[in-house]
Amino acid sequence: MAVNQRQFDQLTEMGISLWQHKVVAGKHNPSNIENDKPVINYVTQTEKTLSDLLTKQIFIDILQSVDISIGEVNHKENHLDLGLFNWYFNSTGNDNPAIYCNNNNLFSPSIAVISQSPALKKQLWQTIIKKLL
């Protein structure tokens, strides 16, 4: 069972230790370098980017739809920690932006890009409904 950072911190505070499986890539085969995977850069999250998001009605609507208050949103280095899931905003300029979820991590283009596209809004909503709720 996967836990997000908030859940991990809460369990650790309660004295519950968790075993984590760590994969050491290339330990047995040094030539096994993952150069074939595309590099995805995520928007760095700061207090300013978070406060800018909180002025956008679409972001507030998304928070309300998943029953998350503004106070529960924390910015991390490259994502937003929403308690229920982590939200990563893709900073690369894709011609075909995609919204997907993996292990309680939501990956999407920026809110500005999503707000301009009805298709992306629909894809975001469907991903949240099917994968996160």
* pLDDT tens, position by position, 58-88: 999 999 988 999 899 999 999 999 988 999 9
Which of residues 115 and 97 earns the better pLDDT score? 115
Please provide the DSSP assignment of 14-76 as one string: TT---------TTSS-TT----SSPP--BPPP-HHHHHHHTT-HHHHHHHHHTT--GGG-EE-
Counted residue by residue, the chain has a size of: 133
Which of residues 89 and 5 earns the better pLDDT score? 89
Cβ-contact 5, 88 below 8 angstroms? no
Which of residues 4 and 24 earns the better pLDDT score? 4
Phi then psi for residue 44, to 5 deg, are: -70, 130
Residue 87 DSSP code: E
Cβ-contact 45, 79 below 8 angstroms? yes
pLDDT at position 128 over 80: yes
Tens-place pLDDT, residues 94-112? 666 789 999 999 999 999 9
Tens-place pLDDT, residues 7-50? 777 777 777 766 655 555 444 554 444 455 556 688 889 999 99
pTM > 0.75: no
Amino acid at 4: N
Rg from Cα positions in the chain: 17
Please give the pLDDT value at position 30.
Answer: 47
Cβ-contact 106, 80 below 8 angstroms? no
Q: What's the first-to-final CA gap in the chain, in angstroms?
A: 16
